[in-house]
Amino acid sequence: MSRDLRITRLTVREYEWKMPDLGVDYNGFNTVFERGSTARQTGHVLTVETAAGITGEYAGGTSVSYAQLGMVAGYLIGKDALARELIWNDLKRALRKHDRFGMGPIDIALWDIAGKAYGAPVYELLGGFRTRLPAYASTYHGDENGGLSSPEAFADFAVQCRDMGYPAFKIHGWGHGPIEREAAAVLATRQAVGPEMDLMIDPACEYDTFADALKVGRACDEAGYFWYEDPYKDGGVSSFAHRKLRQLIRTPLLLGEHVRGLEPHVDQIVADGTDYVRADADYDGGITGVMKLAHAAEGFGLDCEIHAPGPAHRHCMAAVRNTNYYELGLVAPGLDPKRVHCPLYADDFADDLDSVDGDGCVPVPQGPGLGVTLNWDWIRAHETSAVVYD
């Protein structure tokens, strides 16, 4: 290829929008259903421009990611955008004192450039395995506001999702209050949907004690859960604790969402700290990082489950054999998904409750790069700041 793909400019745009009928939970950390309330959300779009005029675009990342981008932008200007592996390794070293969140958005934007340069969707460059992705409905956290406020509410919503075609459903429970309510939601949901649907629960590291984690784990055993994710307040990082938990329950554990990068994930596998391996392009060094994790897990004979929805994750999942479900969320009953999830993309992409087909699958974007069209009119209308590096 003769085109000059040296990086010439990076721009981070921040935008803000309001989501109706959502509020926050008891400590303000979880977004939950609350009729009549409005949740203010912030998002980011990174663009990476090249000398040849091909621009990589990625909508995602956090303010932490982009603080780290500022630390490495000078290094990136002038680099060959196709030298992803070199850039990935240099940034890994440069950001070693931090959580390396800055690597993800950059790497994803570079894959978008590569796809556009080669005229192919990213998943084909990675190695295509599938073009339809079975999804699970991943709920908002339990609330006290008449939405997902009881075990029966989770059970009813799981039935609704099953009837829409979803093959799997994941509970994000309340995380506080009586642990018996969490266990009751596990059992009531299985009771309601019958034996076929795969069920998961993700307390998102919120149970106070190992004993509480064990109680809910035993309910998962009784109800035949597919996985039990990040149970309690070790923060999802203690391999020793989860090895002990694995000795006491039968339900497979999914840990690793809060273990950063390739080597610590492998250490967690070797220490028997998890059954499924978690990967996230925003958290683990982009598409390059997710693929390294997926292949590392493959070498151990394990499955790699990709966290959260989005175009980059659809491409990764489409190129990985050893994986099961696309996380479609967050979702809750009684919300208008079209109003909650902002119109970030043109009509070619959405991660709404009703984005699945009758078999509960979502498609893989087929256009070059990430294969999605950003809704720039909407982004510009909601932009609150822009930072340019050139």
Three-state SS annotation for 38-99: EEEEEEEEEEEEECCCCEEEEECCCHHHHHHHHHHHHHHCCCECCCHHHHHHHHHHHCCCCC
Report the C-alpha gap between 325 and 264 in whole angstroms: 23
Helix (H, G, I), strand (E, B) or coil at 168: strand
Report the C-alpha gap between 149 and 31 in whole angstroms: 14
Residues 69, 14 contacting (CB under 8 angstroms): no
Report the C-alpha gap between 201 and 188 in whole angstroms: 13
Residues 319, 126 contacting (CB under 8 angstroms): yes
CA angle 135, 103, 3 (to 5 degrees): 95
Q: Least separation, in Å, of the C-beta of 203 and Mg ion?
A: 9
334-363: contacts with Mg ion (CB under 5 A) = none
Report the C-alpha gap between 294 and 340 in whole angstroms: 31
Q: Residues 6 or more apart from 62 whose CB is under 8 A from it? A: 44, 101, 282
Q: Least separation, in Å, of the C-beta of 188 and Mg ion?
A: 21
Cα dihedral sign, 220-224-225-230: positive
Q: Least separation, in Å, of the C-beta of 230 and Mg ion?
A: 5
Neighbours of 305 (CB within 10 A): 28
Query: Max CA-CA distance within the chain?
Result: 64
* Number of residues engaging Mg ion in binding (CB under 5 A): 2
173-212: contacts with Mg ion (CB under 5 A) = 202
Q: Name the residue whose CB lies closest to Mg ion.
A: 202
Q: Least separation, in Å, of the C-beta of 124 and Mg ion?
A: 29
Q: Least separation, in Å, of the C-beta of 101 and Mg ion?
A: 16
Which lies closer to Mg ion via its Cβ, residue 34 or residue 257? 257
Which lies closer to Mg ion via its Cβ, residue 57 or residue 198? 198
Which lies closer to Mg ion via its Cβ, residue 124 or residue 143? 143
Q: If binding is defined by CB under 5 A, does position 282 make contact with Mg ion?
A: no
Q: Least separation, in Å, of the C-beta of 182 and Mg ion?
A: 15
Which lies closer to Mg ion via its Cβ, residue 134 or residue 329? 329
Report the C-alpha gap between 221 and 200 in whole angstroms: 11
Q: Least separation, in Å, of the C-beta of 93 and Mg ion?
A: 28
Which lies closer to Mg ion via its Cβ, residue 202 or residue 282? 202
Which lies closer to Mg ion via its Cβ, residue 10 or residue 279? 279
Token pair of 236 as six digits: 């999802």
Q: If binding is defined by CB under 5 A, does position 303 make contact with Mg ion?
A: no
Q: Least separation, in Å, of the C-beta of 218 and Mg ion?
A: 20
Which lies closer to Mg ion via its Cβ, residue 107 or residue 257? 257
Which lies closer to Mg ion via its Cβ, residue 116 or residue 141? 141
Residue for token digits 């039935």?
Answer: 159
Q: Least separation, in Å, of the C-beta of 259 and Mg ion?
A: 12
Tell me the per-residue interface mask from 243 to 272 with Mg ion, x by CB under 5 A, - otherwise. --------------x---------------
Which lies closer to Mg ion via its Cβ, residue 33 or residue 283? 283
Binding site for Mg ion (CB under 5 A): 202, 257
